Amino acid sequence: MKLKKRIWGERFCLKFGKNMSKIGKKPVDIKEGVTVSMEAAGIKVNGPKGTLTFKIPQGISVKILNGKIEFSEKNQEADNSRALFGLTRSIISNMIEGVSLGFEKKLELSGVGYRAQVSGEDLILFLGFSHPVKISPDEGIKFQVADNAIIISGIDKALVGNTAAKIRAIRPPEPYKGKGIKYQGEIIRRKAGKAAKAVGGLK
């Protein structure tokens, strides 16, 4: 079984390996109002909404030419070079979008008495526990509450996503009535309760 998996993996790499880094070959356009500079520690992106920095992984070369950022692999034979190639491009592209437009995630509250409010910079959640839950934002994160929905915004896409995931994990939606915190537009797979199962069994 292990031999079959190894053979399949080798065939997959031979067939698709060369195409897996196509995203890394695409230059990233530097938007108007955004400045990008190379520093000893990596790359620095500055825009209307703030500044982000990123350390370039070893084996990846980054150049700024004619208003674009280009990427290349220093050693294409390195095991992790191809994966880091596309990842580096995606991260820097998100940095440019973050400092120019920003990112946001929306969470919806569902449940009797479930609500949220902002106090100063902190988010206060009332989720049926014996006490409210207080969440202090990481640097660069801002909370808003509108129509019983929580809006998490910031310039760092990964940090915005991680913050939303942590808040959702406090009271994830349960599968029977759907009570809890869910992402906007998230579809919860419902389960039939005991009463519904009993009625179904009588038919």
pLDDT at 178: 82
Assess contact for 118 and 124: CB atoms under 8 A: yes
Asked if 62 and 138 sit in the same domain, the reply is no
**Who wins on pLDDT, 128 or 203?**
128
pLDDT band at 85 (very low <50, low <70, confident <90, very high): confident
Instruction: Note the pLDDT tens digit of each residue in 110-130.
Output: 989 999 999 999 999 999 999
Is 160 contained in some domain? Answer: yes
DSSP string of 163-186, one letter each residue: HHHHHHHHSPPPTTT--EEEETTP
Assess contact for 153 and 101: CB atoms under 8 A: no
Q: Residues 168-195: what's their mean pLDDT?
A: 84
Asked if 31 and 89 sit in the same domain, the reply is yes
Chain-centroid distance, C-alpha 20: 21
Q: What is the mean pLDDT of the chain?
A: 84
Assess contact for 64 and 117: CB atoms under 8 A: no
Q: How far apart are CA 141 and CA 102, in angstroms?
A: 11
> Which among 102, 127, 125 is positioned nearest to 113, based on CA atoms?
127
Q: How far apart are CA 92 and CA 179, in angstroms?
A: 37
Asked if 82 and 40 sit in the same domain, the reply is yes
Instruction: Note the pLDDT tens digit of each residue in 25-45.
Output: 789 999 999 999 998 879 999
**Who wins on pLDDT, 103 or 188?**
103
Residue located via tokens 């919806």: 108
pLDDT at 193: 58
Q: What percent of the chain has pLDDT over 70?
A: 78
Asked if 96 and 107 sit in the same domain, the reply is no
**Who wins on pLDDT, 28 or 201?**
28
